Structure 1
Amino acid sequence: MTYFDKLETRSADERAADHARALPEQIARAKKAPGYADILSAVQADSVTDMQALAQLPVLRKSDLTKAQAGRPPFGGFTVKPARNFQHVFQSPGPIYEPGSTDHDWWRMGRFLNAAGVGPGDIVQNCFGYHLTPAGMIFESGAQAVGASVLPAGTGQTELQVTAARDVGSTAYAGTPDYLKIILDKADAMGVALSFSKAAVGGGALFPSLRQEYADRDIACLQCYATADLGNIAYESPAMEGMIIDEHVIVEIVTPGTGTPVAPGEVGEVVVTTFNPDYPLIRFATGDLSAMMPGESPCGRTNMRIKGWMGRADQTTKIKGMFVRPEQVAALVDKHDEIVKARVIAARQGEMDTMTVQIESPCENDGAYAKSVVEVLKLKGAVEVVAPGSLPKDGLVIEDQRVYD
């Protein structure tokens, strides 16, 4: 097995020491960006040396980024250099703008492609989009980092994809998990034999049955977890036991709607701090759910692992015509020191919405919290006080039990 670099096999102490040096530098760098002027104004950069200190900083959400970009286009003031000094400017749905650079492995995708076995001698058929959104360039830069050649195929035109794959001898596929099957099925219909033996996928669910179908065709398929803003966050190795955190980010799992880390192993929202010097996103909330896994990967890579994508953290739900948001549930918990956790359940009784608020608290008086529920959630609902530790540890703070079909 060949690792991408020595960072992948650092000891926990070595990684913590490296973070203790890199975090203050990144916080100081971010404080110079105008978008962080108010957010981090009171933060002493040299005091943020570990995850405990990092967890005290505010969370930056995509909605915050969108608002900032509207007032200070195109990047909201969160980059350390102007747009004209980046090689690329991308636009994702929203619209939201992301910078891009041709600097070596700027999005850190090479580490994943190396784990997927892609390297010199491979020709990667890159079926991620190249227009406006950055996925195509993210994977192209990763392929360059591992010394592979790239066929910039983009999306669509499946018959041409098959012809090109045959003619140039593509050995590796990069794209969404399901599009490779479309190409392979088209090749079968055309009577064309292709040379794919590796697949590096992302941007969608890789179902076990689909992975097995590729394995039956002698194609080893691994997946990564990346976003347009952050680049690569985590990736699979051939061990296929969870997703290993990239070496140039710090990942926290927090209670949705808050910045409070959950207990080890609990499901929560993925919050990422990147060490990218050009675009220093600090505690950026992805809106995705996952959970940390114990131990290390059998492949020998020593960084923490997550279970992969487990749904969306934005559980905003309309009840009785009013939106209830995770941030409100978090505010309800903060309103009373003794509350450990809360969960809002939306249901139906006849043709009417109902709301039940379950509260973990040593206080057994349901009525003690009714007023706070109305004040914070702006709705009346039943209150159930339950023993601390009894609510499910599934990442949900708002559960919609209504059936819509």
Structure 2
Amino acid sequence: MYEQEEKKLTDFKNRLDEVSIPSDALDDAVMAGFYKAKKKKRPPYKIWLLQCAAAAILIIGFLASVRHSPTFANYISSIPGMEKIVEMIRDDKGLLAAVENEYYQKIGVSQEKNGLKVTIDGVIADEKGMMIFYTVESDNKEVKVTMLDARVKGENGEDLPAVISHGIPEESESNSYEGMVENFFQNEVEGKKFIWDVTLKEKNGFLEEHFQIPFTIPGDLKISKKIDVNQVVEVEGQRILFKTVTIYPTRVEIHTKFDSGNTKKILGLRDLRLVDEHGETWNRSTDIISTKISDDEITYYLQSNYFHEPKKLYIAMNEIEAIDKDEASVVVDIKNKKILKQPKGNVITEVDVNGEYIVFRIKANDFSSSVSFSEIKDADGNVIQSQGIYNRLDTGKGYIQIGEQISGLSEMKGPLIFEIGSFPSYIETNQKTRIK
């Protein structure tokens, strides 16, 4: 669906110099690039300019595709502000397909308190996920607010356990901003009536406002499509079972289980993706979200292909992050600040104890090639909770510092065991498993 559009976009880009683009449209596209660029720490100047240009080309390409799709164009034009919503989700093929198939549902309910107004503009929702698109407005444009918390609750205020993600409000000269909050529920939800529980805080003051906004999803929620896969893949003697694939409009869940007899601890399937018979891919990023069920069982979450009905569908991967099981932990003598055990290669060069922090110095050029820990235990095997983690890159020096905050660290005497959650050790493969 989108691979062909990418080719059209490339052709379109090559013809840009020959096309007369209205100045207003170009200004809007450039501002969209600024809007996207401000979400992250600004990269070097030349790269930043290229990103802005790329964002402008993508927006122009999107507008061009709308002109070629009357249904999509009519749908976009019928809902005010829809272009901004599309810009928020343009990196997610599944959510874009939901909009294209008119599955975005307008809500338009608001609540006001002390000069602040929160509006739920609309949602893309299913049994397991809900994307809430919102607007915050202030009577005073000098008041800048940030979102402390935002969660969906049941009709009667009951908690709905979920993984929640929301961005930081954009700095703006106006007195309003738009955003999106992602909610991925632990269990499938029922019903169409909910409460959005939101807390806003003034950035440079003590003002804090709490909103509880009841809302009703006007249309029916799409039900999931489940594929019982139950296929084992073996790569260099390591066995991986793909149990089920469940496809929701907001995302895809792939339930995997690793053979307990494997000689390696599998830390992650870094570039897991769905591919159809035409080679169209969902989820190209190596930054894949997952939920650990047990040491040998993980659910991975990919972009959704719900609105695409391929004749054939494959699970594909090219890189497995894995480490020998007997090297899957780091043991630290906290009293003497020494590493007693770590994987081959000695990528951890130093360890220090500073108050409640234990700090590791790791050889790595970026965070993706660093080390992280999934669990901390004492010498008796008791799990110790980490109160916080920080990562610091020593730019140009090839080192990263990882600090784990542990309450009462100075009073602990025995060695601590850090179970490895990620490590730069990979098995290369070219695996495709047909599931449809």
Q: Does TM, normalized by the shorter one, top 0.5?
A: no
**Higher RCO, Cα 8 Å, sep 6+:** 1
- Please state which structure has a larger fraction of its residues in strand: 2
Higher helix share: 1
TM-score (norm 1): 0.30
TM-score normalised per structure 2: 0.29
Q: Which structure has the larger Rg over C-alpha atoms?
A: 2
